[in-house]
Amino acid sequence: MLNEQYSFFHNVERSFDKAAEFTKWDKGLLEQIKACNSVYRMRFPVKMDDGRIEVIEAYRVQHSQHKSPCKGGIRFSEAVDQDEVMALASLMTYKCAIVNVPFGGAKGGIKINPRNYSTYELEKITRRYTSELVKKNFIGPGIDVPAPDYGTGEREMAWIVDTYASLKPGEIDAAGCVTGKPVSQGGVRGRKEATGLGVFYGVREVCNMAGRMKKLGLTPGVKGKKVVVQGLGNVGYHSAKFFREHGSIVIAIAEYEGAIYNANGLNEEEVFQHRKATGSILNFPGATNIEKSTDALELECDILIPAALENVINGSNADRIKAKIIGEAANGPLTPEADVILNKKSTLIVPDMYLNAGGVTVSYFEWLKNLSHVRYGRLEKRFTENMNSHILTQMESLTGKTVSDAERKFIMHGAEEVDLVHSGLEETMITATQEIIAIWDKNPEIPDMRTAAYVCAINKVATSYNELGIFP
């Protein structure tokens, strides 16, 4: 049963409707864009290690087919229900549109806590889920392409591609049926850190806008900014890493067992190793414990990065949030009530549906790699290096001067796969940020950046529908 009052999907619809007011599209077209096209709810039995049979509840929602394939992650979480998967699938449509990734939105979910299952049980659940998707034509490189999400990673994606390929012998593009795979199984270099790096690029771009920063009473740039990160999973870890590497000070990191604080900054890798060794983020050397994890959200800081689950900032804590900028790395970390309260305080909320698009952007690069059957950089890397070497030698002989070894190495370097992926991601996030801000600047009536992002998404999806025409 969907609970309308707390419906995440309904919250997405509310944000959509608010933004639709600033567009001139036909009402029916807007209704079509909002609707989830297909919802597949499944139940299947899996035999556990102790011989018991458990009935697993799972979903795949395809929100929009205005572009093919549909795209979106699969999450393993006890909180999974139809409403959540529908909301997340619709966010995928808008996210892809904003960053010009030519996919429709989709999302999948399996209602389990992966910690309660052995690796073998998880493998059986994942493979069975995949074969259910194959049976109903809900997966394929040109149909619907899953990826990692909360509670899943490379390992699950490897099981998915293997199951798919074995059920579809001879399908030459089978590797493109899922993204976020290990590099050895057709993955692309740079996918793992992509969401966190995209979050960093997006927030950095906003921070580089002097006018916006002045309004917040901040100086431009990310250097020296105090950052709080909630969640030390893949997205939180990499967001923290890139902010730290670019001179920000990560003063607190929160996980569900508690949070830690150090005004001089935390190193996410050391914290990660400490948590791995002790089973908890607490008692990290040199840091102060914050027993109640959510208290970390309320710390004095410049940038707050919620990188865990939805609804963590809501009507009950929003007025205590002190951050000037909130970068929504997770999907839906703020409720609409929190949005209202924080917008009144003029907090700049950099919205989830584009800020965390780094994952799907690099998934797009992975999918292209799978369809082209060639690694990025394979054709041009040596050519570039030979050319650069030639130019450098000519310049040195013409000037009679020589560059240092370090400079030589840097200038000579031909782009490898990871360089191209990072560069494509940087370009994508900068362009998307600028497009959204331009919409916001052009229409001062638009109340916040989330609404501007929705307007951007609606315009792109509606244009695409208009170009397609409606099938009779």
> Given the rule CB under 6 A, which residues bind ligand GLU?
71-73, 147-149, 179, 331, 356, 359-360, 363
List, in sequence order, the alpha helices (H) in 64-192.
82-98, 119-135, 154-167
3-class SS of residue 226: strand
Nearer to ligand GLU, 318 or 330 (CB): 330
Which residue number is nearest to ligand GLU in terms of Cβ? Answer: 73
Buried b (16+ CB within 10 A) or exposed e, 412-426: bebbebbbbbbebbb
From the CB of 359, what's the least distance to ligand GLU, in Å? Answer: 4
> What is the C-alpha to C-alpha distance for residues 95 and 284, in angstroms, rounded to an integer?
36
Kindly write down the DSSP assignment for every residue of 289-353, as one continuous string: EESSGGGGGGSS-SEEEE-S-TTSB-TTTGGG---SEEE--SSS-B-HHHHHHHHHTT-EEE-HH
Q: What are the residues facing 108 on neighbouring strands?
A: 60, 74
Min CB(148)–ligand GLU separation in Å: 6
Closest CA to 236 of 94, 333, 315: 333
Q: Which of 61, 88, 36, 33 is closest to 460 using CA atoms?
A: 33
Minimum CB separation of residue 321 from ligand GLU in Å reads 23
Nearest approach, Cβ of 151 to ligand GLU (angstroms)?
11
Give the integer Cα–Cα distance in Å for 194 and 424.
Answer: 11
Q: Which is nearer to ligand GLU, 176 or 296 (CB)?
A: 176
Cα distances (Å, whole numbers) of residue 202 to 295, 429, 437: 25, 6, 11
Residues in a beta bridge with 249: 226
Q: Which is nearest to 41 in space by CA: 124, 137, 110, 144? A: 110
Q: Tell me whether residue 271 or residue 330 sits nearer to ligand GLU (CB atom).
A: 330
Residue 107 annotated among the catalytic residues of the structure: yes
235 or 297, CB closer to ligand GLU?
235
Contact 128, 44 (CB under 8 A): yes
For ligand GLU, give the closer residue by CB, 91 or 213.
Answer: 91
Which residue's CB is nearer to ligand GLU, number 333 or number 359?
359
The least distance separating ligand GLU from the CB of residue 320, rounded to whole angstroms, comes to: 28
* Cα of 424 vs its chain's centroid, Å: 15
Q: Nearest distance from residue 361's CB to ligand GLU, in Å?
A: 8
What is the spatial distance between Cα 239 and Cα 306, in angstroms, rounded to a whole number? 10
The two structure tokens encoding residue 468: 């397609």
Catalytic residue among 18, 34, 107, 460: 107
Q: What are the beta bridge partners of residue 259? A: 254, 290
Nearer to ligand GLU, 187 or 377 (CB): 187
Q: What are phi and psi of 426, to 5 degrees?
A: -60, -45
Q: Please state the closest distance from residue 11 (CB atom) to ligand GLU, in A.
A: 16
Catalytic residue numbers read 107
